[in-house]
Amino acid sequence: MNSERYRIEPGTVVDLGRWDARDHAMAPDGKDAARRTVKGLNRRLAKLQELLYAQGKHKILVVLQAMDTGGKDGAIRKVFRGVNPQGVKVTGFKKPTSLELAHDYLWRVHPHTPARGEIAVFNRSHYEDVLVVRVHNLVPTEVWSRRYDQINAFERLLAEEGTTILKFYLHISKEEQKERLQARIDNPEKNWKFARGDLAERALWDSYTEAFEAVLSRTSTDCAPWYLVPADSKWYRDLVILETLVGTLERLQMRYPDPEEGLHDIVIE
Give which of 166, 269, 214, 196 is closest to 16, Cα–Cα. 214
> Does residue 267 form part of some domain?
no
Asked if residue 234 belongs to a domain, the reply is yes
* Mean pLDDT to the nearest integer, 81-85: 92
**How do residues 141-177 score in pLDDT, each as one tens digit?**
999 999 999 999 999 999 999 999 999 999 999 999 9
The total of structural domains in the chain comes to 1
pTM: predicted TM-score of the whole model, two decimal places: 0.96
Q: Look at residue 97 and tell me if it is in a domain.
A: yes
**Residue 263 in domain:** no
**C-alpha to C-alpha distances, 232 to 42, 172, 174, nearest whole angstrom:** 21, 5, 10
Does residue 259 lie in a domain region?
no
Kindly state whether residue 185 falls inside one of the protein's structural domains: yes
- What are 188-217's pLDDT values in tens digits? 999 998 888 889 999 999 999 999 999 999
Rounded to an integer, the average pLDDT of 77-99 is: 95
Domain of residue 236 covers: 2-253
**Range with lowest mean pLDDT among 46-55, 96-105, 157-166, 258-267:** 258-267
| pLDDT, greater one: 86 or 230 | 230
pLDDT digits (tens, 9 = 90+) for 7-62: 999 999 999 999 999 999 999 999 999 999 999 999 999 999 999 999 999 999 99
CATH number reported for the structural domain that contains residue 96 in this entry: 3.40.50.300
Assess if residue 44 is contained within a domain. Answer: yes
DSSP 124: S
Residue 1 pLDDT: 67
Print burial letters for 186-195: b (CB count within 10 Å at least 16), e (below 16). eeeeeeeebe
| Mean pLDDT of the 83-87 span | 91
C-beta pairs of 126-131 under 8 Å, 24+ apart in sequence: 126/93, 126/151, 126/154, 127/63, 127/65, 127/151, 127/215, 127/219, 128/93, 129/105, 130/211, 130/214, 130/215, 131/65, 131/208, 131/211, 131/212, 131/215
Q: What's the residue count for the chain?
A: 269
Domain for residue 23, yes or no? yes
The predicted structure's pLDDT at residue 35 = 96
- Mean predicted lDDT score pLDDT of the chain: 95
